């Protein structure tokens, strides 16, 4: 049976082990958490100490889009071909964002590929 744990509990226990030096096994056993699950939390916490800052009780309404959806876009007035082109453009942009770069310019201008990160993505 799958059990979910509160992010506040995860962070508290990871701080006890990683910062205060308590025993991993004893902490997991005393809180009724499988050791493998607790080890995954500790690994995540060591990679990013803020990984459990998100509160599980938040709802989808608590989030705001960085780029709000344009509900005024005339999708209803477009033909199937125009809709396919719009969808293809959005798919391409999603793939570019996943790879970590965007394109500036377009049309007759020279396109410039701009990296969104200084990390090597390979």
Report the alpha-carbon distance of residue 30 to residue 25 in Å, rounded.
9
Interior CA angle at 65 toward 61 and 105, to 5°? 170
**Where in the chain do CATH 1.10.10 domains reside?**
1-63
- Look at residue 4 in the predicted model and tell me its pLDDT: 85
pLDDT in tens, 15-63: 999 999 999 999 999 999 999 999 999 999 998 888 888 665 555 555 5
Report the alpha-carbon distance of residue 73 to residue 69 in Å, rounded.
9
Q: Is 96 exposed, middle or buried (0-12, 13-18, 19+ CB in 10 A)?
A: middle
Q: Over 70: is that where the pLDDT of 121 sits?
A: no
- Look at residue 29 in the predicted model and tell me its pLDDT: 94
Q: Which of 48, 56, 45, 40 is nearest to 15 (CA)?
A: 45
CATH class of 1-63: mainly alpha
pLDDT in tens, 62-113: 555 555 666 667 778 889 999 999 889 888 888 877 777 666 665 555 555 5
Q: How far is CA 67 from CA 4, 59, 111, 114, 115, in A?
A: 32, 19, 23, 19, 19
For residues 101 and 114, the answer to whether their CB atoms sit within 8 Å is yes
pTM summary value = 0.46
């Amino acid at each position: 049976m799958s059990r979910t744990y509160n992010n506040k509990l995860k962070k508290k226990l990871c701080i006890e082990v990683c910062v205060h030096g308590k025993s991993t096994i004893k902490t997991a056993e005393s809180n009724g958490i499988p050791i493998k699950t607790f080890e995954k939390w500790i690994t995540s916490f060591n990679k990013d100490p803020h990984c459990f800052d998100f509160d599980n009780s938040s709802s989808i309404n608590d989030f705001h889009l960085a780029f709000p959806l344009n509900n005024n876009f005339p999708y209803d007035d477009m033909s199937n071909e125009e809709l396919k082109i719009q969808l293809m453009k959005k798919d391409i942009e999603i793939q570019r964002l996943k790879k970590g770069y965007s394109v500036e310019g377009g049309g007759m201008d020279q396109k410039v590929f701009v990296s969104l990160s200084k990390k090597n993505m390979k």
